[in-house]
A and B are shown apart, each in its own frame.
Chain A
Amino acid sequence: MNQNLFSLAWREAVRSAYWGKSLATTIGLGFLSIYFSVSFLVLGFAIPELLIKNFPNIDPISKFNSIILAYFAIDLIIRQLMQKLPTVSFKPLLLQNIRRRKIANYLLTRSVFNFFNVLPFFLVLPITFTLVASTHSGLATLSWFLAIGILIFCNHFLAIYLKWRFNEAEYGFFIFLAGLACLFAINHFGIIDLSGGLGKLLDLVLVYPALVLLIAVLPLLFYYLNVQFLLSRMFLNLVSEKQKAETVRDYTWLNRMGETGRFIALELRLIWRNKRPRSLAMMTVLMFGYGLLIYRGEPGKELPEFVFILGGVLLVGMFSISYGQFFPAWHSNYFSMLMCQRLKMKQFLKSFYMLVTVVSVACYFITLPYALMHTKVIYTHLAMLLYNLGVNIPIIFFIGLYSKKRLDLNQSSVMNYQGVGASQWLAGLPMMLGPICLFYLFKLAFGTVGGYIGLGAMGLTGILFHSVIIDYFSRQYLKKKHELIKNYKNS
């Protein structure tokens, strides 16, 4: 039975029109995973020596045990952002002779085969052999290793459980972050030594190997929670549950701006009323705080230039990159309707351009206070704002020409996990790395300030010629419209 379900998942992946594109994503993700695997392996061999060097008076194993909680906390956050949820279109399966519990178990089993569960072992295996095995008996080493492994899977099931929850209520993620921050504070200020507590427990495992069985209760508990959650969601009525009156916001004031305003109103409604674009928009807001992290640096030390470029991209251009990477697929559900209307492709592109411009300029002013930390932010962000509007948007238009996958906005958020994995971040990579490379090229030729001027000038050129660019792309989109319609229909 499970084999059947697995072959269904395989066919779903292979037969979608998205396959070709997702192959590129897969290769990109593949490189990233190799990179991280190697890094973790190197780290795994280096950690024992580092521990002995930095904490000569403490047993390195128990030191490692006492800091491992921090790793799990970070792992949990990364998993929230990156890990994919296992999905299955369960509707056709419900009527078949398959127990709901079987579907739930299948989903959870499939979720275990995940890179995030493999990665930590690259770190743990070398440590087990070099550090633990040399000083402890075989049984103790094995049980320690098992305990760590169990905790990894415990984190896995906790992560997907939380992710399922956050998918239904987005504010949950912020509560989660706040909760972690509280735990961090409790630990940091020594109110309760959480990290040390886990460390002691792991120390005890080395002495009494049977304690592993106790730890094994945790993942079972989270697994059970997951099963309960899935069982409670596998009903059709929950898919169309939202029968309550919607809060309908008025955007008619935008109509005064004519055709373009009407489309901007449509985009705003799209963002506000659909889960996926909404969470992308929220991400933009979260990014404002990210500057505190990357611009902090050490006093007296100059930050490397690429930090400012990256900061500019993320703080000013986050919205255009994350929202733009799916242009025009946001409108894929009713794309053929739009193509039957008396609308000029030009207006369609222009309204997107306007929206992104307004948001980016707003982002520029909101993030301007970072100039208090580094005065140069005033002009580095300005250069990135220009670059973003002048260069990145044409790139977005260009990528959009080849968009293949339909975004299913119409489904309600329950059991709809399209695009919550790592791959959605990948599309933005060239738009983030591009300016960094260009900057260093310009810097070679004209110096540091010249580098920023170069980026800004490129952007300005793009902005000055924006109507030509929009005209060009509207012609291209008209040429491509049949292909876009076909792709959206087949995915």
Chain B
Amino acid sequence: MIQIQNLIKAYNKEIVLNIPELTIEKGEIFGLVGNNGAGKTTMFNIVLDLITASKGQVISKGINVRESEDWKDFTGAFIDETFLIGYLTAEEYFGFIAGLRRLSKTDTSTFLEGFSDFFNGEIIGKKKFIRDFSKGNQKKVGIVAALMGKPEVVVLDEPFANLDPSSQYKLRKLIKDFAAQNGSTFLISDHTLENIADVSTRLIILEKGKIVRDVPKTATTLQEVEAFFKPVVEADIY
């Protein structure tokens, strides 16, 4: 579905991302973990053509994202709150995005009904602009908007951050169900290893811009990833 080839991003000769070869298959829930500055958001931004790579290319469903805009037809994304329009209500925002994705009004409302549990009654029907929502609710709006129109590729940067514990569990299920129903490919990053290990079918660890682990999910994935990030000094204490 997505091929990354010889991708290098450098700022002032300092390489922040260097991925020689990476292929993400259709239907994969691709999880990305890494410490701050590992290059996760940079990679997503390049996939969405929001920043330019210094070298190399990203091919999404056969389309080079730098050369054509057609990838936008099948891609949904939520990177951060700058993806929201603060002065709209949640419904208006969904309506705006639905219009861009050519969803009819009835389609939109049936689609949104499917998320009523996730929204927990705090989003729809509120006479409140998105800028006045809490961080968690803003995130929910952004995630659901990214899923509108059943895109084949969904990019979510730290979707679990700022969500309350029960919403985190709901989101895990939501992503898995959505991928199973629509065959969508997900690109997700997060800092909570438990969430990302649960949700993804393939896990990648980025460190200083390089892929250092690439594992399909098994029963031991979580332990493996945890072991990677745990400081080594701990062993010395005992």
Contact = CB atoms under 8 A, between A and B. Distances in A.
A262 interface: yes
Interface in B88-132: 88-89, 92, 95-97, 99-102, 127-129, 131-132
Given A337-B83, A340-B75, A273 B129 contact: yes
Contacts of B48: 336, 339-340
B79 A342 contact: no
Contacts of A485: 50-51
Interface string A226-242: 00000000000000101
A341 B97 contact: yes
Given A333-B85, A340-B48, A341-B100, A248 B127 contact: yes
A341 B73 CA distance: 8
Nearest to A347: B100
Interface in A256-279: 259, 262, 266, 269-270, 273-274
A119 interface: no
A246 B129 contact: yes
B50 A334 contact: no
Interface in A317-341: 333-337, 339-341
Interface string A422-445: 000000000000000000000000
B73 A342 contact: yes
Could you say which interface size class chain A belongs to? 20 to 34
Contacts of A274: 87
Contacts of B128: 243, 245-246
A252 B50 CA distance: 30
Contacts of A334: 82-86
A335 B48 CA distance: 13
B113 to A, nearest CB: 19
B72 interface: yes
B101 A342 contact: yes
Nearest to A250: B92
A136 interface: no
A183 interface: no
B168 interface: no
B15 to A, nearest CB: 18
Given A333-B85, A334-B84, A409-B87, A340 B50 contact: yes
A486 interface: yes
Contacts of A248: 89, 92, 127
B206 to A, nearest CB: 21
B156 to A, nearest CB: 12
Nearest to B142: A337
A273 B130 CA distance: 12
A343 interface: yes
A273 B132 CA distance: 13
Contacts of B29: none
B83 A246 contact: no
A347 B74 CA distance: 19
Contacts, number: 82
A240 B86 CA distance: 13
Interface residues of B, number: 32
A243 B50 contact: no
A340 B82 contact: no
A342 to B, nearest CB: 4
B77 interface: yes
Interface centre among B73, B87, B129 (most CB of A within 10 A): B87
Contact of B96 (A245, A262, A489): A262
Given A246-B129, A334-B82, A337-B84, A343 B100 contact: yes
A21 interface: no
A340 B77 contact: yes
A295 B51 CA distance: 51
Contacts of A97: none
B115 to A, nearest CB: 19
A410 B86 CA distance: 6
Interface string B58-91: 0000000000010011010101001111111100
A2 interface: no
A364 to B, nearest CB: 29
Contacts of B82: 333-337, 489
A274 B129 CA distance: 11
Interface centre among A243, A333, A337, A478 (most CB of B within 10 A): A337
* Residue of A252, A266, A274, A334 most packed against chain B (CB within 10 A): A334
Interface in A117-147: none
Nearest to B70: A342
B75 to A, nearest CB: 7
A266 B48 CA distance: 23
B221 interface: no
B167 interface: no
A374 interface: no
A482 interface: yes
Given A246-B89, A246-B128, A482-B51, A336 B83 contact: yes
Contacts of B51: 482, 485-486
A474 B82 CA distance: 22
Nearest to B87: A273
A467 interface: no
B3 to A, nearest CB: 19
B201 interface: no
A7 interface: no
A255 interface: yes
Given A342-B72, A409-B86, A482 B127 contact: no
A240 B73 CA distance: 36
A242 B102 CA distance: 33
Given A243-B132, A255-B99, A269-B92, A341 B72 contact: yes
Contacts of A343: 100
A329 to B, nearest CB: 13
Contacts of B97: 341
A414 to B, nearest CB: 13
B52 interface: yes
Contacts of B101: 341-342
A261 to B, nearest CB: 9
20 contacts: A245-B127, A246-B128, A246-B129, A248-B89, A248-B92, A262-B100, A269-B87, A269-B88, A269-B92, A333-B85, A333-B86, A334-B84, A334-B85, A342-B101, A409-B86, A410-B131, A478-B69, A482-B52, A485-B51, A486-B51
Interface of B: 48-52, 69, 72-73, 75, 77, 79, 82-89, 92, 95-97, 99-102, 127-129, 131-132
User: Lowest 6 A-B CB distances belong to which pairs?
Assistant: A337-B83, A410-B86, A245-B127, A273-B87, A342-B72, A410-B131
